[in-house]
Structure 1
Amino acid sequence: MRVNNQIWKIAQKFQTAEIIDIQTYGNGNINQTFLVTLSSTESFILQRINQQVFSQPKSVIDNMCRVVEHIQAKVTHNLLKRNWQIPNVLLTLEGENHVIDQDNSIWRGISFINDCQCFDTVQNPQHAQEIGYALGLFHTLISDLNIDQLTDTLPGFHITPQYLQHYYQVLAKTQVKSCPEVKYCQDFINQRATQIDILEKAKARRELPLRPIHGDPKVNNIMINCQSGEAIAMIDLDTVKPGLIHYDIGDCLRSLANPLGEETQAWQEVEFNLSLAKAMLAGYLDVARNFLTEYDYFYLYDCIRLIAFELGLRFLSDYLAGNIYFKTNYPEHNLQRALVQFQLAASIEAQATPIRQIIAQLK
């Protein structure tokens, strides 16, 4: 896709080298992303931050800078089993970490990681284990970063009781369409409404501490080395913030252990894949075991169950509200997505015993 001169001018603020090409890059739904190729054969990522999602774009960049600086210091002083890469925030020629364009949009430059790829779905159990290893290493490297240094750029994110309250508010002012699928979703929520505050109560009791988290540890945010097949980086650090590591673990397993994916039409066939989940947890605990507490292990099953339910709740609320948050391709798209997540949550609940056994075995 051809880009306009304005984007070329913004890219030039980050580089003295000649720019020879700029192309749209990736399939992300939030930020506008471009790959900038230089005459030196090097490349970098140029992004416009979506201020409708991130109301504090400068804080998003500052969070990323703090995390990158912290990880770089840890990698420099610790011998890791592999060459872990960090996407660096580039400075402009004037020494700033962002550019403000004529429309007051915020742009940033990020270093490009070569010789690796990411996948939208898990390829096999070994890939699942690498994803777990990447998340575990990321959590380990930032586990001693003071959360007071991070801004909460997404207040309320993964606070399930708040999503339930929003659902009730939508119900109160919406004429709900009567159909079997909507009724199934509503019944599913009602049957579990008293069980959704378990992580927040554990946080209030200080059983689970706030730690730095990634915030969006889906499969395609882990970079895999093209030669070795090893995970070598976690990207998309926009959502780094204080939170529970259980949010990350549950969200990662939600996306990883559903081979049919969240966009499948065959929602009744959705199953939580135990072998993929076990591989991911094995990879995670291989590197993160040392900083986990007994309470962390105790609540692992609950986060796996809860995050799938939470996303289903968010999809249904958006469907009932008129599809105003999530991008959709057809009117019932968010309803279909909700059905998929609720079916995944049901599959997790049906396999509670073997999931708990896997956690105990790997502990």
Structure 2
Amino acid sequence: MTEELKTQNTDNLFAIAKQFTLQGKVTDVQSLGSGNINDTFLVSLDSPEEQHFVLQRINTQVFRQPQLIMQNMRTFTEHIHKRLQNASLSRRWEVPRVLLTKDAQDHWRDADGEQRVGRVPRLEATANPEGSFWRAISFIEGAQSFDTMHDKSHAQEIGYALGMFHNLISDLPPEKLADTLEGFHITPLYLQHYEQVLAKTSPRQSPEVNYCLQFVSDRTNVAHVLENAKATGNLPLRLMHGDPKINNVMFDTVTQQAVSVIDLDTVKPGLVHYDIGDCLRSGCNLAGEETEQWESVSFDTDLCQGILQGYLSVAKAFLTENDYAYIYDAIRLIAFELGLRFFTDYLAGNVYFKVKHSEHNLARALVQFQLTQSIESQETTIRNIIQDMK
């Protein structure tokens, strides 16, 4: 959360929340979550029908066409709601709804923002509430998320959640959604950007920086594996979530079953393998992404087995033989890719991810690179797990 928004006038936040209030009165607005991109608030209402909703300010430095994000979200959430109405699920499953303003719009801009529609916002716009792009989505009541995995049954629920999400959008043609983040999860492009940044900077020499430099240099060939498979037709274009880390899965606070997948800004055409890899990358690192003890980070193969069991219990219906063949590559690639992105941002001066200190992205990169190394050292075990579940 930016310091400017921490101290932002409470009345202003209340006024923004009221734009989306069709019933009830806004009683409170509090900061919510710890996302690295958007600024998120929980709005409380005195309405008996809906007691809370989520208010977000979209980071238009990351999402340059926020209107397309909302168009996508309305398209696939409406599709999922129709699927759920016609399904006879034996357990709870929800998808967040897009809430409209009083004039039936799916977002709201202040006067300054309206003047800048269609233009690239100033860099400082991300820290300035004037000219912001706001949206509201329904809140999943009686649910919570976790930053790390608890046990294997928890892992199975994480996998089930991703499988359910993929299943519910598997019959929605990819061309129905706009690509709101061109180049996102295209690892060769991240590698190219890294090389451009590196050519323009003189990184501070340290054992950690030198380790990262060598780590990337030794794995440049890894970056192309999934994009090559897509180009040759071995992996089909589908719809993907884009950011299925474990804290984007909501669990029922009573049953402890997964009930929703949230953070839907990155849903777009792509490879489901990016989601599978990212889910396993984030779920099987018990130390978490923000640990300072990076050398102790490891990939837990028992949790890997649990996630894949849960995922395949729902996703077997649409996966192909080739899909299974590339699951290991996806797990290794996404850990490497995220480490590469963190390290690149560190070299560039921390311009993309929010940081708490100047070395934060370097520390994050070290965690992901250590995780990548742990995945590589257990390749045979991971491939055997995948093979046994086919």
Which bracket does the TM-score occupy, shorter chain normalised? over 0.9
For the 8 Å contact 1:133–1:283, the answer to whether it is kept is yes
Instruction: State the shift of 1:332 in Å.
Output: 2.2
**Stretch moving more, 220-229 or 168-177:** 168-177
Distance in 2 of aligned mates of 1:6 and 1:184: 46
What's the secondary structure of 2:112's corresponding residue? coil
Partner deviation per Cα, 1:97-128 (whole Å, 9 max, x = no partner): 11111331221121111111111111221111
Matches within 5 A, 1:125-140: 125-140=152-167
Q: Structure 1 residue aligned with 2:25, among 18, 32, 40?
A: 18
Instruction: State the shift of 1:3 in Å.
Output: 5.1
Distance 1:19 1:320, change over 3 A: closer
Distance 1:284 1:171, change over 3 A: same
Structure 2 residues not aligned, in runs of 5+:
1-5, 114-131
Instruction: State the shift of 1:32 in Å.
Output: 2.0
| Matching residue of 2:15 | 9
Distance in 2 of aligned mates of 1:222 and 1:324: 27
| Matching residue of 1:191 | 218
Q: Structure 2 residue aligned with 1:33, among 31, 40, 53?
A: 40
Q: Which amino acid aligns with 2:47?
A: S
| Matching residue of 1:65 | 74
Instruction: State the shift of 1:312 in Å.
Output: 1.1
Distance in 1 of aligned mates of 2:304 and 2:291: 19
For the 8 Å contact 2:97–2:137, the answer to whether it is kept is yes
Matches within 5 A, 1:39-50: 39-41=46-48, 42-50=51-59
Instruction: State the shift of 1:204 in Å.
Output: 0.3
**Stretch moving more, 209-218 or 321-330:** 321-330
| Matching residue of 1:95 | 104
Distance in 2 of aligned mates of 1:191 and 1:265: 24
Distance in 2 of aligned mates of 1:20 and 1:5: 11
Q: Which amino acid aligns with 1:23?
A: Q
Instruction: State the shift of 1:8 in Å.
Output: 1.9
| Matching residue of 2:315 | 288
**Stretch moving more, 178-187 or 233-242:** 178-187
Q: Structure 1 residue aligned with 2:290, among 257, 263, 266?
A: 263
Distance in 2 of aligned mates of 1:115 and 1:333: 33
Identity of aligned residues (%): 56
Matches within 5 A, 1:86-125: 86-104=95-113, 105-125=132-152
Q: Which amino acid aligns with 1:280?
A: I
| Matching residue of 1:247 | 274
Q: Structure 1 residue aligned with 2:85, among 69, 76, 79?
A: 76
Distance 1:329 1:297, change over 3 A: same
Instruction: State the shift of 1:130 in Å.
Output: 0.5
Partner deviation per Cα, 1:257-279 (whole Å, 9 max, x = no partner): 01111222221111100111110
TM-score (norm 2): 0.90
Instruction: State the shift of 1:19 in Å.
Output: 2.0
RMSD: 1.4
Aligned residues: 363
Distance in 1 of aligned mates of 2:65 and 2:195: 28
Q: Structure 1 residue aligned with 2:334, among 286, 307, 327?
A: 307
For the 8 Å contact 1:3–1:22, the answer to whether it is kept is no
| Matching residue of 1:176 | 203
Structure 1 residues not aligned, in runs of 5+:
none
Matches within 5 A, 1:48-59: 48-59=57-68
Distance in 2 of aligned mates of 1:211 and 1:323: 32
Partner deviation per Cα, 1:309-342 (whole Å, 9 max, x = no partner): 1111111111222222222223322222211111
TM-score (norm 1): 0.96
Distance 1:27 1:271, change over 3 A: same
Distance in 1 of aligned mates of 2:15 and 2:358: 39
Distance in 2 of aligned mates of 1:331 and 1:100: 32
| Matching residue of 1:234 | 261
For the 8 Å contact 1:3–1:23, the answer to whether it is kept is no
Q: Which amino acid aligns with 1:144?
A: D
Distance in 2 of aligned mates of 1:321 and 1:32: 23
Q: Which amino acid aligns with 2:33?
A: G
Instruction: State the shift of 1:180 in Å.
Output: 2.2
For the 8 Å contact 2:29–2:43, the answer to whether it is kept is yes
What's the secondary structure of 1:73's corresponding residue? helix
**Stretch moving more, 129-138 or 11-20:** 11-20
